[in-house]
Structure 1
Amino acid sequence: MKKIFVLLLAIVSVYACNSQKKNEATKVTVESIDTTTVRKHLYTLASDEMEGRGTGTPGIEKAAQYIEREYKRIGLTTYANLKGYRQNFTFTNRRTKKEIKAFNVIGVLEGKSKKDEYVVVSAHYDHLGIRKKEGEKDSIYNGADDDASGTTAVLALAEYFKRKGNNERTILFVAFTAEEMGLVGSTHFGKDVDASKFVAGINIEMIGKQSSFGPKTAWLTGFERSNFGKIIQKNLEGSGYKLFPDPFKKFNLFFRSDNASLARLGIPSHTFSTGPIDVDVHYHKVSDEPETLNVSNITETIRAIAIGTESIISGKDTPTRVQLTEKEMGGRKKK
């Protein structure tokens, strides 16, 4: 009788513990993504100490170390058979013909009932580095909006979804390198993935300024190529935040950010942005500094992405595969 009582007590304790964890998870709201945290990530990644985060430079090494420390603090695990958070590779600089050592930084939040289905949350953490130009006193291209703001979002979302604990699917938080050199990091990442297991790509680029649609709005590249955007719009209803299709079609932005590397594999991968790029005087300039950005805009947009993508993360919604022509897929034939 005593053994039965002890067994029952143990079962009740486990049940109570699980219930407590579920209750704690439901209490985690998007308000936990705050301006203090956002400001810290942004100002660190876009500081002069990071030397513009040029691929293959000491500056990007410092940025990678910061991202790694944050992944470890949050409690993310490593990807596939990697020994750490870095996915190391080399490539040849098309301009100088020199070989460059590079690394994506990947952290994993394992899923539960659908852990073999993957969602990628990404941004590129590289920028243009240091470039001395005649007549300019400042030579550091800090890349605050492009794309320290997106990398900030990746870190904030990693912490949010880790605390939330409702990801039935596995989330890969990826800081891509060498985007500015031709989507090199994301292309390397996509080489060895089983695309059939990848449900969605959530890429974030330049969210530091109010969009042309007004406050509390963002736009999505390739909106018409899958129903990903419509899922986000549905989830944002009542939130006060709105998502619109990319208004800058002439710039072909769907293929100019890291989402394209996954989209070419058929994965519904799209980029969130608020950038008013048609009038942005700081784009790819030394003046792209943290002080030029709206931290509240970044925070509100990260919260909206958390709300908008939650049904995909939790396994309730599955976006349709992205629609591309064979030419757009880089010559790959549709499977």
Structure 2
Amino acid sequence: MRLSPLLVLAPLGLLGLAACQTESGPSAGRAAGLDIPEVEAVDIAEATIKDLTQMLSDDSFEGRAPGSIGEEKTIALLTERFAAAGLKPGNGDSWLQNVPLVGIEANKVSPLTISGGKTPLAFNYGSEMVIGTYRETETIEIIDSDVVFVGFGINAPEKGWNDYAGLDVKGKTVVILVNDPDYASVDLTGDFGGKAMTYYGRWTYKYEEAARQGAAAALIVHEDFPAAYGWGVVESSWTGPQFFAQSKDRGARQTMANGWIQKGVAEQLLASAGQDFAQLSKAAKQKGFKPVPLGLKASVSFANSITTTRSNNIIGILPGAKRPDEYVLYTAHWDHLGRCKPAPDGDDICNGAVDNATGTAALVALAEAFAKAGAPDRSIVFLAVTAEESGLLGSKYYAENPVYPLKQTVGGINMDAFLMAGPAKDVTVIGKGKSQLDNFLSAALKSVDRVATADSSPQNGYYYRSDHFSLAKLGVPMLYINGGEDLINGGVAAGAAVSKDYTENRYHGPKDEFNPAWDWSGVMADLALYYRIGRSMAMSTSWPNWVDGDEFRAVRDESRMGS
């Protein structure tokens, strides 16, 4: 998830025709040949989002882990409130889309031991390393696996880059740097987009590639800056049950173990092999880097508690008045981490008030506003997805098994964590310039006297870290923005301080709890903007597309062909 207020937008498709009357008169915008209708402001109930955020993050929901009592309570609450708002069940006669999951929790984890070097080493689970498996097996035992440093663990033929070149790593343990090679650049030029992270920089990709290469284990080196979060986030996220989409081979094609190690652990490991971490990290940033066998042996073992369950995406729909088979999508993930590493006071419930009770509650508030304003021309789908915290699993399942065809989905807005920072002068656009949705955003911003600014931390790869990405991979254009950090009260410094405080003290921890003293004014301003954008898409006749040359353009063109 993005560590500050999130919005993900996504109208999809090929360029449509301009024209048509709108609810407030003729089209207000013709930019790039797009029909961008004007939208009147509406009242969005602050009480709805405030009260639902408090309820969803109550201790009785136990952190809303998939398959838990928290899920049962969330389903009951959202379906009741969706129905009361005036929505209809979004999956035939059902509010639910079943999502098959397997939960795997590592226990009885041995220290990670390293032998064969200058000094025998042992690293403890939790404080120095975390580890688990994607395989549905009761025990994992890795004994004396050869250790190889593989730089950033990237195999990108189109870029002439292969960190595995010339070495068979089958059965071996690979040590991988986080992010991608040019994350420290000062601009956006470079083999991997300069400081803007590509998918090759995401930890999910690194494990996928290690599995394709046949590695027994993959260990990513954690560093705060390129990871964009501290070790505490890794520890809380990777201990406890980990959920995955069930596969026919029960995970047999995956590595035996995936995990993270602290930077200090990596430095000790490489020093024992007679290598220097800083020097190897520098070398790994250059094209032509080759993997480095370290002459070390790694061993680790753990047992697995395995559960299979069906979690659920929750779907409501407001059918369109004129073109009900064209869809605009609002999404938010309802899940959080459940019980997690206790705080010093013993609190072990990760309530997820900001992440993402706020976004889930916003779905209901927006549903109420749309229903009161009357159905727009296109249908509006409100989708609360599961298992985002486990790797975007609910949105991935929906994207691959859509209730409403993606080629008929005009766009979407994903909301993932609203910080209570107060109103801002700007919005920050993640992936600015990727699609023609920038035009819809510009029109909405003009109506509320706000401006768009580019992401100041593109190296953190926020574009690949929330549920909009599951749809983007399958061609659905996504405009991804947050509420901005140039606050009306305090400016950029104040906005940065709010984000920093949340990231360091509450994100993915037991203290992400509801606070009755929160200032909701900034959230409500953001929701008014999100309503305008979604309503404009729902009244438009256009099908905005990705820009020429974007990585997702081709798959969208193919899906829309003949529509």
Shorter-chain-normalised TM-score: which range?
0.7 to 0.9
Aligned residue number for residue 91 of structure 1:
101
Alignment check: 8 A CA contact 1:38 1:298 kept: no
Residue 77 (1) aligns with residue 88 (2): yes
**Residue 278 of structure 1, CA deviation:** 5.2
Alignment check: 8 A CA contact 1:202 1:272 kept: no
Alignment check: 8 A CA contact 2:425 2:450 kept: yes
Once residues 181 and 165 of structure 1 are traced to their aligned partners in structure 2, the CA distance between those partners, rounded to angstroms, is 36
Residue 177 (1) aligns with residue 386 (2): yes
User: 1:29 and 1:48, CA in 2 relative to 1: closer, same or farther beyond 3 A?
Assistant: farther
- Describe the superposition over 1:148-192 as per-residue Cα deviations: whole angstroms up to 9, x where unpaired: 111121111111111111411111100011000000000111112
Q: Structure 1 stretches of 5 or more lacking a match?
A: 1-21
Match of 1:47 among 58, 65, 69: 58
Residue 102 (1) aligns with residue 327 (2): no
Match of 2:535 among 307, 310, 317: 310
**Residue 43 of structure 1, CA deviation:** 1.0
**Residue 50 of structure 1, CA deviation:** 1.4
User: 1:48 and 1:313, CA in 2 relative to 1: closer, same or farther beyond 3 A?
Assistant: same
Q: Which amino acid aligns with 2:43?
A: S
Residue 129 (1) aligns with residue 353 (2): no
Select the structure with the greater relative contact order (CA < 8 A; seq sep ≥ 6). 2
Alignment check: 8 A CA contact 2:64 2:71 kept: yes
Aligned residue number for residue 284 of structure 1:
508
Aligned residue number for residue 35 of structure 1:
46
Aligned residue number for residue 225 of structure 2:
none
**Residues 313-322 or 192-201, more deviating:** 313-322
**Residue 30 of structure 1, CA deviation:** 4.2
Aligned residue number for residue 420 of structure 2:
209
Residue 297 (1) aligns with residue 522 (2): yes
Alignment check: 8 A CA contact 1:53 1:142 kept: yes
**Residue 318 of structure 1, CA deviation:** 3.4
Alignment check: 8 A CA contact 2:350 2:511 kept: yes
Secondary structure of 1:33's counterpart equals: coil
Once residues 30 and 333 of structure 1 are traced to their aligned partners in structure 2, the CA distance between those partners, rounded to angstroms, is 32
Aligned residue number for residue 29 of structure 2:
none
**Residue 269 of structure 1, CA deviation:** 2.4
- Describe the superposition over 1:186-219 as per-residue Cα deviations: whole angstroms up to 9, x where unpaired: 01111123321111121111122338xx725433
Residue 168 (1) aligns with residue 178 (2): no
- Describe the superposition over 1:238-267 as per-residue Cα deviations: whole angstroms up to 9, x where unpaired: 413444343331111111100001111111
Match of 2:410 among 196, 199, 213: 199
Once residues 46 and 30 of structure 1 are traced to their aligned partners in structure 2, the CA distance between those partners, rounded to angstroms, is 29
Alignment check: 8 A CA contact 1:122 1:201 kept: yes
**Residue 45 of structure 1, CA deviation:** 1.3
User: 1:29 and 1:35, CA in 2 relative to 1: closer, same or farther beyond 3 A?
Assistant: farther
Alpha-carbon RMSD across the aligned residues, in angstroms, is 2.8
**Residue 135 of structure 1, CA deviation:** 3.5
Q: Structure 2 stretches of 5 or more lacking a match?
A: 1-22, 25-38, 104-133, 135-241, 243-303, 485-495, 559-563
Match of 1:218 among 413, 421, 427: 427
Compute the TM-score of the two structures, normalised by the length of structure 1.
0.81
Once residues 91 and 535 of structure 2 are traced to their aligned partners in structure 1, the CA distance between those partners, rounded to angstroms, is 24
Aligned residue number for residue 66 of structure 1:
77
Structure 1 residue ranges (4+ consecutive) displaced by more than 4 angstroms after TM superposition:
28-31, 275-279
Alignment check: 8 A CA contact 2:474 2:556 kept: no
Once residues 203 and 166 of structure 1 are traced to their aligned partners in structure 2, the CA distance between those partners, rounded to angstroms, is 20
Percent identity over the alignment is 29
Alignment check: 8 A CA contact 2:42 2:373 kept: no
Alignment check: 8 A CA contact 1:177 1:184 kept: yes
Alignment check: 8 A CA contact 1:203 1:272 kept: no
- Describe the superposition over 1:309-335 as per-residue Cα deviations: whole angstroms up to 9, x where unpaired: 321021255322376537x99xx7973
**Residues 42-51 or 202-211, more deviating:** 202-211
**Residue 132 of structure 1, CA deviation:** 4.2
Alignment check: 8 A CA contact 2:85 2:367 kept: yes
Higher helix share: 1
Residue 149 (1) aligns with residue 159 (2): no
Alignment check: 8 A CA contact 2:342 2:510 kept: no
Aligned residue number for residue 321 of structure 1:
546
Total equivalences in the alignment: 304
Alignment check: 8 A CA contact 1:52 1:60 kept: no
Once residues 223 and 88 of structure 1 are traced to their aligned partners in structure 2, the CA distance between those partners, rounded to angstroms, is 34
Once residues 104 and 117 of structure 1 are traced to their aligned partners in structure 2, the CA distance between those partners, rounded to angstroms, is 20
**Residue 58 of structure 1, CA deviation:** 0.5
Compute the TM-score of the two structures, normalised by the length of structure 2.
0.50
**Residues 141-150 or 97-106, more deviating:** 97-106
User: 1:225 and 1:321, CA in 2 relative to 1: closer, same or farther beyond 3 A?
Assistant: same
Q: Which amino acid aligns with 1:87?
A: Q
Q: Which amino acid aligns with 1:67?
A: L
Q: Which amino acid aligns with 1:284?
A: H
**Residues 192-201 or 316-325, more deviating:** 316-325
Higher strand share: 2
Once residues 357 and 425 of structure 2 are traced to their aligned partners in structure 1, the CA distance between those partners, rounded to angstroms, is 20
